Chain A
Amino acid sequence: MKKSNISFIENQLQSKWAIIFIVLRFLQKLIVQLWPIFLALFLGGSGRSGFEKYEIIGASVGIFGMFTSIVAYFRYFYRVSHDELIIEKGIFKKIRLNLPFERIQSINFHQNFLHQILNVTAVEIESAGSEQKELKIDALRIEVAEELRKILLEKKASHRQPSNTLIYETEEFRPTTEKINILDLNLPQLIKVGLLQNHLKPIGLLFSLGGSAFAYGYTIGMDPMEIINYARRNLFNLNFDEYALWIPLFIPLMILYSIVTTILRHYNLNFSRSGQRFHVVQGLINKQQFSALDRKIQIMSWSQNPLERLIGLFRIYFQQARSGNGKEEKMRFDIPGLSHSDIDEVKNHWLGLGRGNFENKFGVSIHFFKRSAIYQCLFYGLILVLLIYFCPLRWIILWVIWWSFSLFLTWQEYKKKRFAINANEVYVGGGRLGFKNSIFPVHKIQNIRINQNPYQWRRGLGSLILYTSAGRVKIPYIKIEKAEELMDLLIYKVERSKKSWM
């Protein structure tokens, strides 16, 4: 086998295993579009006459899929010319994609379970600009993928940017810069991180699962009344104490769920930095390897929930500018288990040494709490009246406790809301039980809006909304004069800044 002396000058095929991934994608598409038919066949097919018909149709669709997948594999080529990466594909119509080196933003590896078994990796190449789509190669042998990445990065580095594409900052792309490790998480640390997660998450998941199960049942012709009756017999007939009995049983399950999902997602997490970018490698079944360019990151946030606060660990979030058809999940990513000094280190890497510090932070108007409290009291009060008529005392007490808790959370949100602006950056922070702080350079702002609802303008207040290309940041309920003053100041900085937002 040839090892590392592939030059990529001539058309290259993917690894043979790529056929499997093409077939799987075909099946996935088929199932996504036709799943109700499959389900109906699966559930009610056995008693039906003419079942062979379906089998024949199924088999022919399968054979057609196999055939086109194999053709697709042999019609998919990639090669590296002197100034761009070229991909040619298409079964009937030939499609040629060209990606000039200077547009390459990052090259990410993605390995799911099957990739790992077969010792191959999917390669995703992100590009700058909105019109160019992201390129994806289904499966390459790891050595080949590494080699391709090396060659592309080298070529990109040696390739001078034409002067008319200087829409980016003048930072140089240096793949050879040494790697600085910021964080490594081993298994015990991951379990610790898992323990600190929000364990109530699976409850929401359960509800949505229940909801969709109900909807599925309905679409394949099950009697909805029967489902409701079944649920009522088995769930709602329990009295209050029996519900209470179930809770201790669920808690360990929910904690286990958090730990397992954390390990699956962040297994062997390595968070590092080289050149002008952060790198992340993580995952057990789905192995991810991706990098985020400084100029593409628009907002950096860090948070602590109450559990993380006890231990003193933080989670960090990056929001990257959306490009073309960028998937949301990749545009934002988060890293758990960081210490306070790690956060400072990341901040220094991204913004520059000593940047991102704020002397004075400002709060928002008390009306931020008041208005929300008024609405809550209307809503909770109305339900309370209904409860008093129809439900036993225990439920009423529970409702009042929940009401007070909700008011407490709103109060906390008001108390914790903070914002600040220094010479180069904007800070907005807040939270209810925990907190989340966000920070971004002023020149990342795209445009600014001031909103006033009737409650606000009667009291001379307004909300300032700062839009970046990775989402918006809101400073709610401040004096309208202050909002306008901030708008003047920030827009002055944006218009004066020569820095590009990406």
Chain B
Amino acid sequence: MHKNSYRIALLMDISQNEFTNHQISTNLLPKIKDVSFSNLHADYLKAEIIGLSIMWLILLAAISIGLYFGDLPYDWIYYIIIIVLLTIVISSYVLTIKGFRKKLYALREKDIIYKEGIFWRTQLLVPFNRIQHAEVNQGPLQRIFGLSELKIYTAGGSSSDLSISGLMYSEAQEIKHFLLHKTAIDEEE
């Protein structure tokens, strides 16, 4: 009985506000579970990997120069450093690739949902009627691939703002226009 109390609450809400009396349950609500999510554009993974490689090239170059001129007392310390570094580099690539597959988004009639995370998973849902404004950004690497980042702001504070990188520029623009158009209609009503 306890489990059903919010269903009862929903029932009450629907019956109070619309004066209908059909039997209803949360099963009839649109479900997050049933939403089919889309992956980000495949080029985004390429851009991520290139970005990561550039970062590692610079870092590894700096580290090897340091090791070459630095004077370590034992040889085995070199081997440990190399093994640790290799592990970190390889796992960073694995995590990027795996993480890419976990980054999913879905657009519904009245809201937008974004999921991400391998270990720390999160999904954020932003209803259109709470959007304050939206913007599309493009970094230098993203521009090469024609990608962009869509940012959606609500009044819920910066930790609740939604940001999806790895959308095609045209797609991001389309979504943005769709959102803003939706918001405008909602306000007119």
Contacts and interface: CB of A to CB of B under 8 A. Distances in A.
A495 B77 CA distance: 60
Contacts of A469: 154-157
B164 to A, nearest CB: 14
A447 B119 contact: no
A452 B154 contact: no
Contacts of B13: 423-424, 493
A100 to B, nearest CB: 19
B160 A472 contact: yes
A42 interface: no
Interface in A463-502: 467-469, 471-472, 484-489, 491-495, 498, 501-502
A451 B33 CA distance: 15
Given A423-B12, A488-B30, A321 B121 contact: no
Interface string B155-189: 11101101000000000000000000000000101
Given A447-B126, A452-B121, A467-B160, A492 B29 contact: yes
B91 interface: no
Given A423-B16, A472-B159, A449 B124 contact: yes
12 contacts: A130-B132, A360-B5, A423-B10, A424-B13, A445-B130, A446-B130, A446-B156, A452-B121, A454-B119, A467-B156, A472-B159, A493-B13
Contact of A486 (B6, B132, B159): B6
Given A452-B121, A472-B157, 17 more contacts: A420-B5, A421-B9, A447-B127, A447-B130, A448-B125, A449-B122, A452-B117, A452-B120, A467-B156, A469-B154, A469-B156, A487-B125, A488-B29, A488-B31, A491-B111, A501-B155, A502-B155
Nearest to B118: A454
A178 interface: no
Interface residues of B, number: 40
A479 B69 CA distance: 55
B22 interface: no
Interface residues of A, number: 42
Given A446-B160, A488-B29, A489-B6, A452 B129 contact: no
B187 A167 contact: yes
Interface in A412-446: 420-424, 445-446
Contacts of A421: 6, 9
A241 interface: no
B129 A495 contact: yes
Contacts of B137: none
Q: Which of B12, B16, B29, B132 has the most CB of A within 10 A?
A: B29
Contact of B5 (A359, A468, A501): A359
Interface of B: 1-2, 5-6, 9-10, 12-13, 16, 26, 29-33, 110-111, 117, 119-130, 132, 154-157, 159-160, 162, 187, 189
- Which label, helix, strand, loop or mixed, suits the secondary structure of the A interface? mixed
A467 to B, nearest CB: 3
A423 B6 CA distance: 8
Contacts of A494: 127, 129-130
Contacts of A488: 26, 29-32
Contact of B127 (A362, A453, A454, A495): A495
A491 B6 CA distance: 14
A453 B119 contact: yes
Q: Which of A420, A424, A449, A472 has the most CB of B within 10 A?
A: A449
Q: Which of A322, A457, A491 has the most CB of B within 10 A?
A: A491
A445 B130 CA distance: 9
Given A446-B160, A453-B119, A501-B155, A489 B29 contact: yes
B156 A423 contact: no
B129 A446 contact: no
B119 A448 contact: no
6 tightest Cβ-Cβ pairs between the two chains A and B: A467-B156, A446-B156, A469-B155, A467-B160, A423-B13, A360-B5
B127 to A, nearest CB: 5
B5 A452 contact: no
Given A467-B157, A484-B33, A488-B32, A447 B12 contact: no
Interface in A219-274: none
Contacts of A491: 111, 125, 127
Contact of A450 (B1, B122, B157): B122
Q: Which of A422, A424, A446, A489 has the most CB of B within 10 A?
A: A446
A442 B124 CA distance: 17
A362 B2 contact: yes
A360 B127 contact: no
Nearest to A456: B121
